[in-house]
Amino acid sequence: MKVMVIGEGGREHALAWKIARSPLVTRVYCAPGNAGTALLGQNIPLKATNLETLKEFALKEGIDLTVVGPELPLAMGIVDEFQEVGLKVFGPNRKTTELESSKVFAKEVMTTGRIPTAPYKVINTFNEAIEYIEQAEQALVVKADGLAGGKGVIVCSSKAEAIAAAKSLMVDKIFADAGNRLVIEERLWGEEVSFLCLTDGEDILPLATSQDHKQIFDGDQGPNTGGMGAYSPAPVVTPAMFDRIVEEIAEPTIKTMAQLGRSYQGVLYIGLMIDQEGPKVLEYNARFGDPETQPLMLRLESDLVPLLKATITGQLKDCQIHWKPQASVCVVMAAQGYPGPYEKGKEITGIETAEALEDIEIFHAGTITKEGKIFTNGGRVLGVTSLGGDIAQAIERAYEGVKKIFWDGAYYRADIGQKALNRAYR
Ligand SMILES: Nc1ncnc2c1ncn2[C@@H]1O[C@H](COP(=O)(O)OP(=O)(O)O)[C@@H](O)[C@H]1O
Ligand SMILES: [Mg+2]
């Protein structure tokens, strides 16, 4: 089988790495990929949003399966385009991807399916926003309806902040049409966790639990990023909590989508807040998480490719999934300044030394090769990912790897996985 992975981040490197280990696979392509995916297979210099050219390439090259990493091509309808010409592709179609690309639609699905989430209101004008915020008795979160590259959500501590957030989205239009409508919802307090499952539209196959670290600084301080690290499993999800998430959230979501004529095929990522009452949905994503995918792929014992195929053909019911009992931790190394402005083109050294350590994989994100050397080429640069007997050991190993890698201005959080440790020892 020839498999193509679309995207260029750490998530895509981890997926390509796992796919390349499948005995079913003869060749892996990555479009456009990074310096890491170039070592596994062939990078194709096509942007993930260049749907027409990607389709032509897949047809010409005889690609047997395409796996879509990022949300943008999904929201643009890459799956519809590929399916139209008979290409096999993993991911939800355009209308189904609205579960991620429209926060208003996602909330409607939750309401229809009686799925626990924060109370909310859909806002159509700035005046409506002011009115709603003025009368609110709870702290609020202001969300742009559309895709905003992970920056369209503002968690507010005061009414003034909420009004300023609504103004920037609706009046100043900092994310253009993504801010035409808003969801304003109550702020929840608890511990966040990522719950991913494969689904063919009818059955679901949950993946192992994981937790992301969104903020740039230690102790969850500072602005949100694409994710500064992740670990799996997440001990906050006890077996009983796991069952509740499946029954109260994952299953009704898939059922509601099917009832709405939007049968969901692909991976459903559910962002959850766990509080005293239980699990509540913060958002859905229509794709694998980045960086959660990095520890998940390291822990995945089963061959991923038959699972992806079964998702597409509606045969997940007959599938099982097996995980290594070890824990995994991914520490993201980023460019100084990220998530604000940062420089590119710094030479990276020490990757090979780090990779020679036991139970360490270095997943590339913003990297590029020039004349045999590797340079930084993005905000999030590398994901140093480890396996360990428990979370504590996995943390130690990941940071051993991090300490072998250098470039001018490398930054990473020093407390990835700490939350799990606190819980495990409680
Ligand atoms: N109701 C809420 N209460 C508290 N925090 C929230 C709430 N909704 C979102 N957040 C925080 O904002 C982050 C981003 O929100 P999310 O809905 O996941 O949007 P996106 O990932 O598209 O930016 C979440 O990971 C969470 O930390
Ligand atoms: Mg999110």
Task: Give the pLDDT of residue 422.
Answer: 81
293 by DSSP, 3-state: which? Answer: helix
- How far is ligand 2, taken at its centre, from the CA of residue 56, in Å? 32
- How far is ligand 2, taken at its centre, from the CA of residue 283, in Å? 6
Task: Give the pLDDT of residue 88.
Answer: 98
CB 328 within 8 A of CB 299: yes
Q: Which of 14-28, 147-161, 199-213 has the lowest mean pLDDT?
A: 147-161
Between CA 425 and CA 416 the distance in angstroms is 16
133 lies in the same domain as 59? no
What Rg, from alpha-carbon coordinates, does the chain have? 21
In a domain, 102, yes or no: no
Mean of the pLDDT values across residues 85-104?
98
Nearest CA to ligand 1 atom 23: 150
Q: Residue 341: which residues within 8 A CB-CB, separation 6 or more?
A: none
Last residue of a domain, one of 137, 160, 186: 186
- How far is ligand 2, taken at its centre, from the CA of residue 150, in Å? 7
- How far is ligand 2, taken at its centre, from the CA of residue 272, in Å? 9
Task: Give the pLDDT of residue 387.
Answer: 98
Between CA 57 and CA 104 the distance in angstroms is 35
Which atom in ligand 1 lies closest to the alpha carbon of residue 188?
A: 3
391 lies in the same domain as 352? yes
- How far is ligand 1, taken at its centre, from the CA of residue 376, in Å? 29
In a domain, 113, yes or no: no
- pLDDT of 424 above 90: no
- pLDDT of 425 above 70: no
- How far is ligand 1, taken at its centre, from the CA of residue 282, in Å? 6
292 lies in the same domain as 214? yes
In a domain, 336, yes or no: yes
State the ligand closest to the CA atom of 147.
Answer: 1
In a domain, 97, yes or no: no
216 lies in the same domain as 279? yes
Full DSSP string of 225-264: -S-SEEEES-TTS-HHHHHHHIIIIIHHHHHHHHHTT---
222 lies in the same domain as 293? yes
Which atom in ligand 1 lies closest to the alpha carbon of residue 212?
A: 25
Percent of the chain with pLDDT over 90: 97
- pLDDT of 334 above 90: yes
Which atom in ligand 1 lies closest to the alpha carbon of residue 187?
A: 3
Last residue of a domain, one of 294, 318, 342: 318
- pLDDT of 221 above 90: yes
182 lies in the same domain as 198? no
Which atom in ligand 1 lies closest to the alpha carbon of residue 185?
A: 1
Last residue of a domain, one of 299, 318, 337: 318
Domain at 135, CATH number: 3.30.1490.20
State the ligand closest to the CA atom of 184.
Answer: 1
161 lies in the same domain as 175? yes
310 by DSSP, 3-state: which? Answer: helix
| DSSP class of 217 | E
- How far is ligand 1, taken at its centre, from the CA of residue 239, in Å? 24
Domain at 368, CATH number: 3.90.600.10
Task: Give the range of the structural domain holding residue 42, as residue numbers without chain letter.
Answer: 2-91
Task: Give the pLDDT of residue 412.
Answer: 98
Give the CA distances from residue 55 to residues 58, 64, 83, 181, in Å, rounded to whole numbers and listed in that order. Answer: 5, 12, 10, 33
Nearest CA to ligand 1 atom 14: 153
In a domain, 104, yes or no: no
| DSSP class of 76 | H
Which atom in ligand 1 lies closest to the alpha carbon of residue 271?
A: 18
311 lies in the same domain as 342? no
87 lies in the same domain as 24? yes
pTM of the entire predicted model: 0.97
Average pLDDT, the chain: 97
Mean of the pLDDT values across residues 180-187?
98
Which atom in ligand 1 lies closest to the alpha carbon of residue 150?
A: 23
- How far is ligand 1, taken at its centre, from the CA of residue 334, in Å? 22
380-388/327-335 β-pairing: antiparallel
In a domain, 114, yes or no: no
pLDDT tens for each residue of 232-248: 999 999 999 999 999 99
339 lies in the same domain as 409? yes
Q: Return phi, psi of residue 166, to 5°.
A: -60, -40
Task: Give the pLDDT of residue 212.
Answer: 96
Pocket test for ligand 1, best of 98, 138, 141 (most atoms within 8 A of CB): 141
In a domain, 108, yes or no: no
Cα–chain center distance at 125? 30
Domain at 30, CATH number: 3.40.50.20
Task: Give the pLDDT of residue 226.
Answer: 93
Model confidence band, residue 150 (pLDDT cutoffs 50, 70, 90): confident
pLDDT tens for each residue of 272-309: 999 999 999 999 999 999 999 999 999 999 999 999 99
Report the domain count for the chain. 4
In a domain, 103, yes or no: no
408 lies in the same domain as 341? yes
Mean of the pLDDT values across residues 189-206?
97
Task: Give the pLDDT of residue 21.
Answer: 98
- How far is ligand 2, taken at its centre, from the CA of residue 317, in Å? 28
Mean of the pLDDT values across residues 19-46?
98
Model confidence band, residue 149 (pLDDT cutoffs 50, 70, 90): confident
Task: Give the pLDDT of residue 426.
Answer: 42
- pLDDT of 183 above 90: yes
Which atom in ligand 1 lies closest to the alpha carbon of residue 283?
A: 17
- pLDDT of 423 above 90: no
Residues within a 6 A CB radius of ligand 1: 118, 141, 143, 150, 152-153, 155, 185, 187-188, 192, 214, 271, 282-283
Nearest CA to ligand 1 atom 9: 282
CB 71 within 8 A of CB 90: no
Mean of the pLDDT values across residues 368-385?
97
336 lies in the same domain as 410? yes
